[in-house]
C-alpha cells in the first residue's frame, strides 16, 4: 500500500508530460511519412543528382546519433537568431521546442522511413508495373494504382517499428532543447522528480510504464491498419494449443 499511493500520484503527475511526448511523435510522423515517399522515389530515380542527394540525406541522418542531430540543429538555429529570426519577429516560434522538436524528429524519421519505403519499392513485382504500362496507364496512375499499394503493404510492419522508435526517441528532446514553462516530456519530468527524493525506481519506472503502454497502443492501432491493408489476403488458420498434439510431437 505504501508503494501504490506514490505510484498513483506519479501516474497523475506524468500524464501531462506523456501528452507532450505523444505530441512530439504525432507532429513528426506526418512530416516523415510524406517526405519519405519523395525521398524513396528520389533514391530510386535514374537522375544522378536527385539520386545522390537522396542517398546523402538518408546516409547523414541514419549514420549520425539522434542526440547529435538535436544539438547540431538547435545550435544552427541559434546561430541565425540575431541575423534572421529576430529581425523577422519569428524567433520565439522558430526556437520554441514545440516547433523545433517535431521538426528535428521529422527530419530524422524521414530518413529511416525513406529507407524502409525504398526497400519495399525494390520488391514491388515488376510484371505488374509492366502490365500497367502496357494497359496505357500514366506514370502517376501506375504509382498510385500498382506501386503504392504493394509498397505500403510490404513496408507497414517495419514502419510500425519506426513509429514506436520515434516515440521513444522523444525522451532525448528536452536533454538538448530548452524547457519552457511546464512543457516537460516524460524523461525530463522523471529527472526533475528524481532530484527531489532520489527515488529512481519510482519516477523512471513510471516514465518507462508510460512508454510501454503507449507503445503497445501504437502496435495495436497500426496492427488494425495492417489488417485493413491485408484484407484481400486469405486469413491463416489459428493454431490452438492441445496437450494431445504436444504428446504426439514428444
Contact predicate 193/10, CB 8 Å: yes
Sequence-distant (≥ 6) Cβ neighbours of residue 206 within 8 angstroms: 7, 10, 11, 14, 190
According to the model, what pLDDT value does residue 242 have? 53
According to the model, what pLDDT value does residue 120 have? 94
Give dist(CA 204, CA 214) in Å, integer.
Answer: 15
According to the model, what pLDDT value does residue 34 have? 96
Give dist(CA 214, CA 244) in Å, integer.
Answer: 39
According to the model, what pLDDT value does residue 241 have? 46
According to the model, what pLDDT value does residue 162 have? 96
Stretches in the chain below the pLDDT threshold 70: 1-2, 235-250
215-228 residue pLDDT tens: 999 999 999 999 88
Of the candidates 31, 29, 56, the one whose C-alpha atom is nearest the C-alpha of residue 42 is 56
Whether pTM exceeds 0.85: yes
Give dist(CA 95, CA 75) in Å, integer.
Answer: 10
According to the model, what pLDDT value does residue 128 have? 87
139-197 residue pLDDT tens: 889 999 999 999 999 999 999 999 999 999 999 988 888 888 888 889 989 988 888 88
Amino acid at each position: 500500500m505504501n508503494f501504490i499511493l506514490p505510484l498513483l500520484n506519479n501516474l497523475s503527475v506524468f500524464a501531462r508530460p506523456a501528452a507532450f511526448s505523444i505530441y512530439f511523435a504525432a507532429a513528426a510522423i506526418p512530416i516523415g511519412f510524406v517526405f519519405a515517399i519523395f525521398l524513396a522515389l528520389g533514391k530510386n530515380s535514374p537522375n544522378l543528382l536527385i539520386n545522390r542527394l537522396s542517398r546523402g540525406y538518408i546516409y547523414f541522418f541514419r549514420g549520425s546519433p539522434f542526440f547529435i542531430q538535436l544539438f547540431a540543429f538547435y545550435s544552427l538555429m541559434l546561430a541565425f537568431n540575431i541575423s534572421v529570426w529576430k529581425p523577422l519577429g519569428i524567433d520565439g516560434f522558430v526556437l520554441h521546442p514545440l516547433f523545433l522538436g517535431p521538426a528535428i524528429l521529422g527530419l530524422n524519421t524521414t530518413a529511416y522511413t525513406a529507407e524502409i519505403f525504398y526497400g519495399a519499392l525494390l520488391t514491388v513485382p515488376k510484371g505488374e508495373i509492366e502490365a500497367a504500362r502496357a494497359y496505357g496507364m500514366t506514370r502517376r496512375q501506375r504509382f498510385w494504382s500498382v506501386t503504392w499499394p504493394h509498397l505500403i503493404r510490404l513496408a507497414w510492419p517495419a514502419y510500425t517499428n519506426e513509429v514506436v522508435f520515434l516515440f521513444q526517441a522523444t525522451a532525448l528532446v528536452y536533454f538538448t532543447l530548452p524547457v519552457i514553462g511546464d512543457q516537460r516530456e516524460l524523461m525530463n519530468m522523471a529527472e526533475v522528480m528524481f532530484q527531489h527524493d532520489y527515488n529512481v525506481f519510482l519516477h523512471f519506472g513510471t516514465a518507462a510504464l508510460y512508454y510501454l503502454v503507449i507503445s503497445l497502443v501504437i502496435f495495436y492501432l497500426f496492427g488494425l491498419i495492417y489488417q485493413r491493408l491485408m484484407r484481400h489476403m486469405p486469413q491463416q488458420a489459428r493454431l490452438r494449443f492441445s496437450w494431445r498434439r504436444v504428446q504426439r510431437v514428444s
